[in-house]
Amino acid sequence: MAKGTARQVALLRGINVGRNNRVGMAPLRAMMEKAGFEDVKTHLQSGNIVYSTSKSAAAAAKEIERGLADELGVRVAVLVRTRDDLASIVKADPLADVASDPALYLVTFLSAKPKTQPIKDLKEDDHAPDVFRHLGREIYVWFPKGVRNATLTYQFWEKLLGVTATARNWRTVTRLLELCDA
C-alpha cells in the first residue's frame, strides 16, 4: 500500500437485487481502478468493495457514486467505512451474547450519525423477538426467526431516522474486515 493511503470499504446500496441495478463485479473493479482506487477487491455480488485510497471516506463515496452513474449507468447510494471503522464495528459486537447465527445478525450502516431520540422512543417489545442496539452510525439487529418478515429493515431505519442505510450480515461484515487486512 502506498504511503498516505488507507483501506476502505464501500457498501453499495441496492445493486444486483432482482433485475434492478445490475452491476458486474469486473466492470465495477475496472471503474474503481480507472478512478484511481488501488488494490480493489469485491466481495459477493451485492456491492461490497474493498480498496486503498488517500481520499477521505466522504470523498471516496461521492466519487464512487459518480463513477457508478457515469460509467455503469447505475444511481445508488454508497456508504464508506474505513478499515479502522470496520474493526471497531466488529470489536463492539453488542449482540454477541444473543446472536448465534451470522446470517441472521445484521449491521445496518447509516450515512450519518442519527438523532438518538427516535431510537430511544422505540419499544423493543413491539419488534420482539428481534433485538437491536445502536452505536454511532450503525445499528446491530438480531433476527432469531429470520429476516423475511422482519420490521427492523434498513428501509425502516431510513424512514425513522431520515438517513440513507444499507445492511450486511455479520458474516459479510467480518469477511470485509478480513479482506481489508489481506
3-state secondary structure 100-144: CCCCCEEEEEECCCCCCHHHHCCCHHHHCCCEEEEECCEEEEECC
Is residue 37 predicted with pLDDT exceeding 90?
yes
CATH number of this structure's domain 6-85, picked from the four choices 3.10.20.30, 3.30.300.130, 3.30.70.1280, 3.40.190.10: 3.30.70.1280
Give the mean model confidence (pLDDT) for residues 164-170. 96
H or E segment at 71?
A: helix 57-72
Q: What is the mean pLDDT of residues 13-19?
A: 75
Residue 17 confidence (pLDDT) above 80: no
| Count of alpha carbons within 13 angstroms of residue 160, beta-carbon side | 20
Write out the H or E segment, with its range, that includes residue 167. strand 165-169
DSSP state of 96: T
Query: Strand, coil or helix: what is 34?
Result: helix
- With H, G, I as helix, E, B as strand and everything else as coil, classify residue 45: coil
| Whole-structure pTM value | 0.93
- Mean pLDDT computed over every residue of the chain: 93
Rounded CA gap, 134 and 137, in Å? 8
**Residue 1 confidence class, pLDDT cut points 50, 70, 90:** low
Residue 24: the pLDDT is 85
How far is residue 52's CA from residue 79's CA, in Å, rounded to a whole number? 15
Extents of the domains making up the chain? 6-85, 90-181
Query: What pLDDT, on the 0 to 100 scale, is given for residue 179?
Result: 96
| Residue 116 CA from chain centroid, whole number | 20
Q: What is the DSSP letter of 177?
A: H
Give the model's pLDDT for residue 92.
98
Strand (E) or helix (H) holding 166: strand 165-169
**Nearest alpha-carbon partner for 134 in 102, 149, 150, 156:** 156
